[in-house]
């Protein structure tokens, strides 16, 4: 049945970025990997936006640490150039711009050389004394994961994690230290446990902020509000009313400059173990008993505990992996993954994963969750589609069961919003029923994910950061799948760049009588907006 719109049933909702959020406490932001790509593309623009919005205190300083022999002035110029290149809209007026740059300092140090850390410690204490900053230290390791543990050890050896007397409760000036680390959190469960043990020698679990930028996205955080603040949804958010849930996170780009990491990780470790499973948890969690950080995180962990673990011999029934070949995108030829710079010519690394999983608890029993993520796909989008059960057949307007199911679409990126597809009578007809889409689109610019998460870490709010038991349980689910990939039990299906992945992946939901629903970013002219692909 072809979908038509009976009229512009649309609405928008506005939000004020960071509404009601307090200014961050006075602190020193110590950034390892200060000359790296993550710092240039994401962290400096996020910090500048926080400065523009008056979210950073006057007693704030940024200390960049990397191997390059910069001085303070040359480092400030690098920050300026990075923001001009990657976030020109964040550039403030001249006076504010200079005030921000004056709070940036630099120390040349090699993270692998213990002899370089005394100089770092000396500069930290000097800046705190000169700027009047209390002993509030936020360490950000924007560097290779294999350096996390050695850096943590050297921070301790150099005295940078020694806060002296125990903090006094509710004392804003009491010393504190926090550590932010980027994914991947290990390569498997064993390596993740080793890394966690190393970090816990220096930092308490409450001081470790494992950042997953997907949790900073506006619509991911809005899932909780959508579910728990609306009587329209929470009573029907269960297996009695929901037939299936689909989560898509697709990219049009290839491996770009990440070949050294990506060719060892692949889509399963790079996306499914963290980003995609985080969205599963947000969709499936129970209402928290109270609006406290740990209560919310406890409910997310319960989802992972209920996630049905696949045995290696079951993986081929529920998982599809693929690798992109050459194709055409935007009218231009693109090369295959194996011809990308830095990729092994015979690489068996997957660039696409689709999976069917089940959550064995009372709310979700029998409801399949379909996941797919990949590179060089037809559209860049992150979207969740909830399909509700069909209406009974043989009603007067549904004699042959031709009605399409109701759908709820949560668009995470690049478009942010919610779409609801319902059935309605086509105007001017006696009883012709057609699907109608109601769109609720966010029109105001949302804060960048890193901007939101950095501010949360400065406040010590770990709600949208990953707790250790989440990491551990996510690896418990992913490890058997990764083992099946390594043993080549699961074929590596080719797919042309610019498509929706291997043909076999499009058939994954068919066994249960479903299909992949098109994303909101696909156009009606393509004939895909509301028809299955």
Q: 459: phi > 0 → left, psi -120 to 50 → alpha, else beta; which?
A: alpha
Cβ neighbours of residue 197 closer than 8 Å, sequence gap 6 or more: none
Do residues 531 and 518 touch, judged by C-beta distance below 8 A? yes
Q: What span, in angstroms and rounded, lies between the C-alpha atoms of 379 and 381?
A: 6
**CB-count exposure of residue 293 (10 Å: 0-12, 13-18, 19+):** middle
**Of 315, 281, 318, 319, nearest in space to 297 by CA:** 281
Of the chain, the end-to-end C-alpha distance in Å amounts to 13
Do residues 136 and 25 touch, judged by C-beta distance below 8 A? yes
DSSP code per residue over 205-224 = GGGEEEE-GGGGSHHHHHHH
How many whole angstroms from its chain centre is CA 56?
A: 24
Do residues 240 and 208 touch, judged by C-beta distance below 8 A? no
Q: Helix (H, G, I), strand (E, B), or coil: what is residue 456?
A: helix
How many whole angstroms from its chain centre is CA 352?
A: 17
Bridging pattern class, strands 433-442 and 242-250:
unpaired
275 is catalytic: yes
| Max CA pair span of the chain | 83
Q: For 401-417, b where at least 16 C-beta lie within 10 A, e where not — what string?
A: eebbbbbbbbbbbebbb
Do residues 440 and 222 touch, judged by C-beta distance below 8 A? no
CB atoms within 10 A of CB 313: 10
The answer, yes or no, to whether the previous bond of 414 is cis (omega within 30 of 0) is: yes
| Residue at token pair 């490890």 | 479
- For the chain, the 3-state helix, strand and coil shares in percent, each to the nearest 5, are 35, 25, 40
Cβ neighbours of residue 206 closer than 8 Å, sequence gap 6 or more: 462
Q: What span, in angstroms and rounded, lies between the C-alpha atoms of 223 and 281?
A: 10
Q: Single out the catalytic residue among 27, 275, 318, 530.
A: 275
Q: What amino acid positions are annotated as catalytic residues?
A: 275
């Amino acid at each position: 049945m072809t979908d038509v719109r009976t009229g512009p049933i649309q609405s928008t909702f506005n939000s004020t970025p960071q509404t009601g959020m307090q200014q961050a406490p006075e602190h020193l932001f110590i950034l390892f990997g200060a000359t790296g790509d993550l710092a240039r593309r994401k962290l400096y623009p996020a910090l500048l936006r926080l400065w523009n919005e008056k979210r950073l205190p006057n007693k704030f300083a940024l200390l960049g640490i990397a191997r390059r022999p910069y001085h303070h002035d040359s480092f400030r110029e690098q920050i300026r150039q990075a923001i001009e290149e990657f976030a020109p809209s964040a550039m403030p007026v001249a006076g504010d711009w200079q005030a921000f740059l004056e709070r940036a300092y630099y120390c040349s140090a090699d993270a692998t050389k213990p002899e370089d850390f005394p100089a770092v410690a000396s500069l930290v204490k000097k800046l705190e004394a000169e700027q009047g900053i209390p002993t509030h230290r936020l360490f950000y390791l924007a560097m290779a994961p294999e350096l996390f543990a050695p850096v943590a050890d050297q921070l301790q050896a150099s005295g940078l994690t020694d806060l002296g007397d125990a903090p006094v409760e509710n004392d804003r000036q009491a010393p504190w230290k926090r550590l932010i680390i980027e994914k991947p959190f290990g390569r498997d469960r064993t390596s993740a446990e080793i890394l966690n043990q190393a970090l816990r020698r220096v930092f308490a679990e409450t001081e470790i902020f494992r950042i997953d930028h997907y949790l900073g996205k506006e619509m991911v955080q809005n899932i909780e509000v959508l579910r728990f603040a609306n009587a329209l949804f929470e009573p029907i958010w269960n297996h009695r009313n929901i037939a299936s849930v689909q989560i898509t996170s697709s990219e049009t780009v290839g491996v770009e400059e990440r070949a050294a990491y990506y060719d060892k990780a692949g889509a399963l470790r790079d996306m499914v173990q963290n980003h995609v499973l985080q969205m599963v948890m947000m969709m499936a969690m129970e209402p928290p008993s109270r609006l406290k950080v740990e209560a919310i995180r406890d409910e997310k962990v319960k989802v992972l505990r209920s996630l049905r673990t696949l045995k290696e011999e079951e993986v081929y029934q529920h998982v599809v992996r693929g690798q992109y070949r050459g194709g055409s995108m935007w009218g231009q030829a693109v090369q295959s993954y194996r011809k990308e710079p830095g990729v092994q010519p015979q690489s068996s690394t997957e660039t696409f994963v689709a999976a069917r999983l089940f959550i064995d608890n009372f709310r979700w029993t029998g409801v399949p969750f379909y996941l797919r993520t990949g590179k060089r796909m037809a559209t860049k989008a992150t979207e969740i589609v909830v399909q509700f059960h069909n209406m009974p057949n043989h009603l007067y307007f549904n004699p042959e069961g031709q009605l399409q199911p109701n759908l709820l679409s949560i668009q995470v990126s690049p478009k942010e919003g919610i779409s609801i597809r319902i059935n309605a009578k086509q105007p001017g007809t006696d009883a012709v029923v057609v699907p109608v889409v109601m769109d609720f689109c966010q029109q105001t610019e949302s804060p960048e994910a890193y901007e939101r998460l950095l501010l949360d870490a400065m406040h010590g709010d770990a709600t949208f950061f990953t707790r250790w038991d989440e990491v551990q349980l996510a690896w418990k689910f992913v490890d058997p799948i990764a083992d099946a990939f390594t043993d080549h039990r699961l074929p590596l299906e080719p797919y042309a760049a610019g498509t929706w992945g291997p043909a076999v992946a499009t058939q994954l939901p068919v066994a249960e009588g479903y299909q992949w629903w098109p994303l909101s970013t696909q156009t009606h002219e393509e004939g895909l907006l509301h028809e299955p692909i």
